[in-house]
């Protein structure tokens, strides 16, 4: 008898949960025209092939991507032989790491950014101080706290270990006595010794070193360009909604669906987290306090970004400066608009890549959402509108964010 009761009990439980899965409240999936349009605009299918990177003519060269992948994982490109790009951009952790502040040779002041979907970005780093993926890839190499090497040393490694791979992509490698040069030599106004050694190299030598260094960045960018996010439960839902597939709507749980509704309506997350990557790629102040020195973010770099040595408008770029590089040419460079502003990150796979914000200030999405509510309506965060959200609604938003993880 007792056994029978147990069986009846469990049958009852399973039928309740089954009913919960099958019968959805019709109101849950009822959307207005504009809400449907907004949901559809976030669908990953609209990413399409990456836009042309006019600044890098090797961006879609398969051999360049192969070379880039090798360099990405090569720890010889560091001062201590232990740091590669992959040290902070872990392929099994959404191409970022678990640290609040990135660590290479030393410790940086910001969190590693996930190197996913880079082919669709206009600006790179939290402050957007680089305007192309290849220019971004070069900066950590010469940063004393990241890879800690020079363009001279990087080029010496290419000559020594990647000569054939390089020739296969870029065609020529000038015969200079690269091994005889000081591996510290680089044009760094903050490092007198490195600068003197750089200036001691002939003009032609400096040109050749920089050319190979630039091409190294372009190969790295060709590889990074291949890293894209995959579809998630949200995308299954959005596709089902678009074609009227009622069963497909069960891809999101009721709680996640309520979170999606908040995302595109009341919580207004979609203002900045829009498009198929759930990021507008722009810069916003979201009221995050820095520990120690205040980080000016975008405001510190926006006035000079167009003049960058490796910028889209520079002589090392393959772009036509009168026709391409629209994001640089038409940029509104008024720094006061961007003080303390940081790049909107993509929300794809966000729940599996803690910690969060530009200096890893929060360990959980729950903390992030609670903070957004706490800082809403303050002068410095006129883009944040979350002060009318209940604890329950924050929970629903968090559930929705969990549905953005790639299958």
Partner 1 sequence: MKPYLALVSTIAIIFINDVYAIDASNKMARDRPEQMCLANTWSGHSLTVSYTIEGDKPPLNTIHSWTLTVTDKKGEAIDGAEIILSADMPEHLHGMTTRPVITAGTSPGHYKVEGMNFHMPGWWEITLDISKGRSRNLVTFNLLVGEGLDMKHHQHHEHMNMKMDKQKPKTKYLWQGC
Per-residue x/- track, 232-271, partner 1 (CB under 8 A): --------------------------------------xx
CB of 390 to partner 1, least distance (A): 22
Among positions 338-367, residues that touch partner 1 (CB under 8 A) are 338-341
Residue that is written with structure tokens 């009622």 in the block = 246
Tell which positions 264-303 bind partner 1, by CB under 8 A: 270-272, 274-275, 280-285, 289, 294, 296, 299
| Cβ closest to partner 1, residue 120 vs residue 162 | 120
Is residue 306 involved in binding partner 1 (CB under 8 A)? Answer: no
CA end-to-end span of the chain: 44
Query: Using the rule CB under 8 A, which residue among 25, 175, 192, 332 binds partner 1?
Result: 332
Site for partner 1 in 146-205 (CB under 8 A): none
Helix boundaries (H) for 191-253:
192-200, 203-224, 233-243
Instruction: Give me the least distance between CB of 32 and partner 1, in Å please.
Output: 6
Residue with tokens 């020079």: 150
> Which tokens sit at 36?
């449907």
Name the residue among 205, 163, 170, 172 with its Cα closest to residue 56: 170
Cβ neighbour number for residue 244 with a 10 Å cutoff: 8
Residues β-bridged to residue 128: none
Q: Which two tokens stand for residue 138?
A: 């070069």
Among 326, 352, 363, 374, binds partner 1 (CB under 8 A): 326
Map residue 403 onto helix, strand or coil: coil
Could you tell me the CA-to-CA distances from 268 to 93, 261, 340, 370, 372 in Å, in that order?
A: 28, 10, 21, 15, 12
Stretch 2-61 residues interacting with partner 1 (CB under 8 A): 32-34, 36-38, 40-41
For residue 372, state whether it binds partner 1 (rule: CB under 8 A): no
Q: Which is nearer to partner 1, 205 or 276 (CB)?
A: 276
Q: In this structure, what DSSP letter does residue 55 have? A: T
The yes or no reply on residue 327 touching partner 1 (CB under 8 A) is: yes
360: Cβ contacts below 8 Å, ≥ 6 apart:
99, 100, 101, 111
Contact window for partner 1 (CB under 8 A) among 60-68, 217-225, 331-339, 368-376: 331-339
If one counts every other C-beta atom within 10 angstroms of the C-beta of residue 365, the result is 19
User: Residue 114 interacts with partner 1 (CB under 8 A)?
Assistant: no
Residues forming contacts to partner 1 in the complex (CB under 8 A) are 32-34, 36-38, 40-41, 270-272, 274-275, 280-285, 289, 294, 296, 299, 326-327, 329-332, 336-341, 379-380, 382-383
């Amino acid at each position: 008898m007792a056994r029978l009761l147990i069986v009846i009990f469990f049958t009852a439980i399973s039928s309740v949960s089954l009913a919960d899965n099958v019968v959805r409240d019709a109101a849950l999936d009822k959307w207005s025209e504009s809400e449907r349009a907004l949901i559809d605009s976030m669908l990953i299918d609209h990413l399409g092939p990456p836009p042309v990177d006019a600044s890098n003519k090797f961006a879609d060269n398969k051999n360049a991507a192969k070379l880039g992948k090798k360099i990405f994982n090569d720890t010889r490109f560091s001062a201590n032989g232990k740091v590669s790009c992959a040290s902070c951009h872990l392929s099994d952790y959404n191409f970022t790491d678990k640290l609040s502040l990135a660590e290479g040779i030393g410790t940086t002041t910001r969190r590693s950014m996930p190197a996913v979907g880079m082919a669709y970005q206009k600006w790179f780093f939290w402050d957007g101080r680089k305007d192309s993926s290849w220019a971004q890839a070069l900066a950590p190499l010469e940063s004393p706290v990241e890879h800690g090497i020079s363009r001279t040393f990087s080029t010496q490694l290419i000559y020594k270990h990647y000569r054939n791979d390089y020739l296969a992509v870029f065609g020529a490698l000038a015969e200079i006595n690269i091994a005889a040069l000081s591996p510290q030599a680089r044009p760094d106004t903050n490092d007198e010794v490195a600068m003197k050694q750089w200036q001691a190299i002939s003009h032609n030598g400096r040109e050749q070193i920089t050319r190979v260094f630039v091409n190294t960045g372009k190969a790295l960018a060709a590889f990074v360009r291949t890293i894209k996010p995959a579809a998630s439960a949200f995308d299954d839902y959005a596709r089902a909604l678009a074609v009227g597939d009622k069963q497909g709507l069960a891809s999101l749980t009721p709680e996640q669906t309520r979170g999606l509704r908040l995302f595109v309506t009341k919580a207004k997350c979609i203002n900045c987290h829009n498009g198929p990557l759930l990021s507008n790629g722009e810069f916003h102040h979201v009221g995050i306090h820095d520990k120690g020195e205040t980080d000016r973010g975008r405001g510190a770099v926006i006035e000079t970004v167009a003049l960058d040595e490796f910028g889209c408008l520079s002589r090392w770029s393959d772009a036509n400066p009168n026709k391409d590089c629209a994001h640089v040419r038409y940029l509104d460079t008024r720094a006061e608009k961007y003080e303390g502003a940081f790049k909107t990150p993509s929300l794809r796979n966000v729940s599996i890549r803690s910690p969060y914000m530009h200096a890893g200030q929060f360990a959980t999405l729950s903390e992030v959402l609670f903070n957004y509510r706490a800082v809403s309506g303050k002068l410095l965060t006129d883009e944040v509108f979350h002060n009318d959200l209940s604890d329950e609604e924050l929970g629903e938003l968090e559930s929705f964010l969990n549905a953005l993880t790639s299958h």
